[in-house]
Amino acid sequence: MWQANHVAQLLCQVEPELDVIMVPSDTFADLDLERSIAELGGKGAFSKEIQQVVVAGHADIAVHSAKDLQALTPQGLTVAAYPKRGDARDALVGITLEQLTDRLAAGDQPTLASGSNRRRALLLDRCPGAAFTDLRGNIATRLARLEATGDKPADLTVVDGLIMAAVALERLGLDTEIGVIDHLEPDWFVPQVGQGALAVETRTDNRELRALVAAIDDPLTRLAVEAERSFLAELGGDCTLPAGAHATVAAVDRRVEITIRGVLADPDLAHLQRHTEVGPVDSEPGRVLARTLRKALEAATS
């Protein structure tokens, strides 16, 4: 709801007389907390039903976390805006990277909660020996897993730390309330495709609405996120492999140049490949990155 309200505020800055009505919609991924996101279909688990509401005409706009979108936009819909991106980093909550490393060196085995195989692969690459458990539910439920006391379900396993998107804590104003947060820099802990960004979809045939929503589009965010999504599309659409990509945009010699870092691991998390691709937009650096990483992973696992 924070995301939807934020987009509504941006639109009202463009058109002050706009009347925005919220149409809340739970997805099956919101309701089914027993299975992992991978078991629920991976990307699209938090977006497909919301998209169907817009396609059916029950709402005019869909607001998503860009990281939850499939690589390919469904027919009839258009991502009319990517507003200015927030923090794309992941964060360790409840334990710092240094504390984690020290405890592992001392023979301890801290348990971390994360529902993402990408996050697990990246942390295991830096901190071999860490143990993991799944992480589902809303932010309050996730944070409750750090506390050994308090009112919580008896089957809620207490963990030493969580790995989650830093922007989620920031948007809910929790980043200043939590005692221990260690932000993991994207040059080594490569985020999920689209992490930190919002994607605003409309029906393709509604030109007037598309034009209104386009007014809140941030061109640099669009270039970066679309490069990342092209990486995912090249890997196979809604790739279920542990993968991440993070792009930055800069002007070089009067041309726009994209630097995109990527990681790709095998399903067993035994092999992790990294690569950085740099090039102009028309060279499709995201797709080149995906092909390079896929080839490297195939060589490492053959």
Q: 85, 87, 90, 118: which is the annotated catalytic residue?
A: 118
pTM: 0.88
Domain 90-184 has CATH 3.40.190.10: yes
Instruction: Reply yes or no on whether 118 is catalytic.
Output: yes
Q: How far is CA 231 from CA 46, 113, 158, 266, in A?
A: 20, 27, 36, 17
E strand map for the chain = 61-65, 77-81, 90-93, 111-113, 131-133, 161-165, 181-184, 198-203, 243-252, 255-265, 272-280
Topology of domain 2-87+193-301 in CATH is D-Maltodextrin-Binding Protein; domain 2 (3.40.190)
pLDDT of residue 252: 83
**Per-10-residue mean pLDDT, the chain, length 302:** 95 96 70 49 66 91 92 92 97 94 94 92 94 79 68 64 92 82 96 97 96 97 97 81 95 90 95 97 96 97 91
Is 175 among the residues known to form the active site? no
Pick the catalytic residue from 85, 145, 182, 239: 239
Is 119 considered catalytic here? yes
Catalytic residue (one of 43, 85, 119, 287): 119
Question: Among residues 136, 210, 274, 291, which one is catalytic?
Answer: 136
Set 43, 142, 287, 294: catalytic member: 142
Where are the domains positioned within the chain? Answer: 2-87+193-301, 90-184
Query: Which one is catalytic: 67, 120, 203, 294?
Result: 67
DSSP character for 150? S
For residues 83 and 154, give the distance between their C-alpha atoms in angstroms, rounded to a whole number: 41
160 is catalytic: no
